[in-house]
Structure 1
Amino acid sequence: MILDDLAIDQREAFCLDLARSAATLALDGFERQAGQPVGMKGPQDYLTETDGAVERHVRARIAEAFPADGFLGEETGGIPGSTAWVVDPIDGTANFARAIPHFCISIAFVANGEVQLGAILNPAMDELYFARKGRGASRNGKPIHVSATTELQATSFELGWSNRVPLARYIAALTALFEAGSNVRRGASGAMALAYVADGRTDGYAELHMNSWDCLAGLLLVREAGGVTGPFLCLGGLTEGAAVLAASPAVASALATATGIPLLTAPDTLPAAPLTNLRTA
């Protein structure tokens, strides 16, 4: 199903309102969560009541407003289809669980083979990042741009960690960046990290494996803010996950060399193979 501009206009307005309503739930949960026990889905993989509550809210609103659209969420999975809302209800759950105000809701909309809309909202900071394909990126309605850093020894990169790849690859990438003179940090929210690249707060972000709900909104933000990324959708990342790289243009090749993640050389589009149901553990 090919969507025209009017159909995407409707979803843009809906996406912004949806992000705000989800943020209200998330912030309420954050304020109640402090000091409470936290469940675990796996090693360093936290789960709170708020994750489920926010995703149920988002999924129900999408089903009511656009019943023909697909849905893919971190907590409940889904069937993406040719149009899909891809949602992480709380990215940075480890921070959320420990009362650290560095977490967000990430909502992406995929149609016509590409990511069309992306919203990342940190409720604790009241910062809403938004991008629409071909129309730029913003924070709280004001245009944003990637950093102008050109000297590698002045860079500040963020490097995400994933237990889906050997630890040695992560250590090798980290070592290469430090040896090149970069500052490297980890904020424990990949979606926020990508938003910060788009906003020029960080020069680049890389993670050797990410799921689509963590990164699709952020990758669009970076590209619309003038940055470059690695391929993701074209590698089957929507349902299987893939490596992620995003950076300001002048330093992107250095980050690609250190991590072994290639830069995108053509539009990042969905593969031709049909999409299938995906459910998370």
Structure 2
Amino acid sequence: MTVSNTHHASHSVRFQAARSLVADAAKKALAMQPAPGKPQASLKGHQDYVTEADKAVELFVTQELNGLFPDDSVLGEEQGGNITGRFRWVIDPIDGTSNYARGRNRWCISLGLFDGDTPVAGIIHAPALGEVFTAQKGQGAFLNGRPIKASQTHNMKEAMVEIGWSPYVPEGWFQEKMTALLDLGAMPRSLGSGALALADVACGRSDGYLEKVIFLWDVSAALVILKEAGAVVSPYLEMGGASKPQTILACAPHTALPLSHAFKVDLS
């Protein structure tokens, strides 16, 4: 077996194991979700929700990964951890916690695998929506097992673009970017889950997603899914995203240039 094939086998074994344990974690999260109209969450900051399920799911996935692959490192949103060594897992136990806490369906578990500094596999599992986005480096991107590709939208007046709201952005930033988007004639969206917004770009439901300050656990699975789906993405990791939150812009191929100019985000 060649070195590259050995690497692929290592990735594939981990990916298949991760799909199974994320599915188990998704069932756990779904069972713990509060009923609509009865939110159960505490706030870490302004509009920054955390629930008991966030903690329980992350603990479950982390313990399972540690048991299966004791030499791998795991970084999670709630408990922290590290990203050292060759194989590195990054988990967001519930992305879209504000939706989750209020009984909405748009939330997911996001788990990404890195080989060194390279994203090599990603799983975004949205159980309330019945959707699982997956990708392995060089193997294509999929939604519920079917291949996905970024949209071929050319005309910005037909485009649908999401801008992520965040308490971490400077005052006036959201209004400025929303105005720039409206000036292009595009339809704006803001739906409360960065990971699913990026997945929407990958599968062609959306033509772009911008978030000013986004953390590694929000994008770890999406980075490989987007690449395999042919989307254009700003250099998040190259800008230091592995160690601190950065801006991300993900676009369909033909909307990349106008969105890059309008939002003043470099895609090179």
Q: What TM-score do you get using the length of structure 1 for normalisation?
A: 0.90
- CA separation in 1, counterparts of 2:45 and 2:36? 19
1:67 aligns with 2:70: yes
Deviates most, 109-118 or 94-103: 109-118
Structure 2 SS opposite 1:238: coil
Structure 1 SS opposite 2:150: coil
1:130 aligns with 2:120: no
Partner in structure 2 of residue 51 of structure 1: 54
Structure 2 SS opposite 1:84: strand
Structure 2 SS opposite 1:193: helix
Partner in structure 2 of residue 21 of structure 1: 24
Structure 1 SS opposite 2:255: helix
- CA separation in 2, counterparts of 1:186 and 1:210? 14
8 Å Cα contact 1:222/1:247 also seen in 2: no
The structure-2 alpha-carbon separation of the partners of 1:36 and 1:227, relative to structure 1 and needing over 3 Å to count, comes to closer
1:219 aligns with 2:220: no
* Alignment match of 1:8 (pick from 6, 11, 24): 11
- CA separation in 1, counterparts of 2:116 and 2:54? 29
1:30 aligns with 2:33: yes
**Residue 148 of structure 1, CA deviation:** 1.2
Partner in structure 2 of residue 106 of structure 1: 110
**Residue 116 of structure 1, CA deviation:** 0.4
- CA separation in 2, counterparts of 1:42 and 1:130? 31
**Residue 31 of structure 1, CA deviation:** 5.2
Partner in structure 2 of residue 155 of structure 1: 159
* Alignment match of 1:121 (pick from 122, 125, 141): 125
Partner in structure 2 of residue 273 of structure 1: none
The structure-2 alpha-carbon separation of the partners of 1:14 and 1:201, relative to structure 1 and needing over 3 Å to count, comes to same
Q: Pairwise mapping of residues 125-274 of structure 1 onto structure 2 (< 5 A)?
A: 125-263=129-267, 265=268
* Alignment match of 1:97 (pick from 101, 105, 113): 101
8 Å Cα contact 1:89/1:106 also seen in 2: yes
The structure-2 alpha-carbon separation of the partners of 1:34 and 1:78, relative to structure 1 and needing over 3 Å to count, comes to farther
8 Å Cα contact 2:133/2:141 also seen in 1: yes
8 Å Cα contact 1:34/1:97 also seen in 2: no
Partner in structure 2 of residue 277 of structure 1: none
Output the aligned Cα RMSD: 1.5
Question: Percent identity of the aligned residues?
Answer: 38
Structure 2 SS opposite 1:72: strand
Partner in structure 1 of residue 89 of structure 2: 85
Deviates most, 41-50 or 10-19: 10-19
**Residue 9 of structure 1, CA deviation:** 1.4
Structure 2: tracts of 5 or more residues without a match: none
Structure 2 SS opposite 1:125: coil
Structure 1: tracts of 5 or more residues without a match: 266-281
**Residue 23 of structure 1, CA deviation:** 0.5
- CA separation in 1, counterparts of 2:222 and 2:108? 11
The runs of 4+ residues in structure 1 deviating greater than 4 Å are 31-34
- CA separation in 2, counterparts of 1:34 and 1:20? 26
Structure 2 SS opposite 1:250: coil
- CA separation in 1, counterparts of 2:163 and 2:200? 13
Q: Which amino acid aligns with 2:134?
A: F
Structure 2 SS opposite 1:235: coil
- CA separation in 2, counterparts of 1:129 and 1:37? 27
Q: Structure 1, residues 173-219: CA drift from partner, whole Å, max 9, x if none?
A: 11111011010110000001011111111111010110000012112
- CA separation in 1, counterparts of 2:249 and 2:242? 15
**Residue 21 of structure 1, CA deviation:** 1.0
The structure-2 alpha-carbon separation of the partners of 1:32 and 1:185, relative to structure 1 and needing over 3 Å to count, comes to closer
Q: Which amino acid aligns with 2:139?
A: R
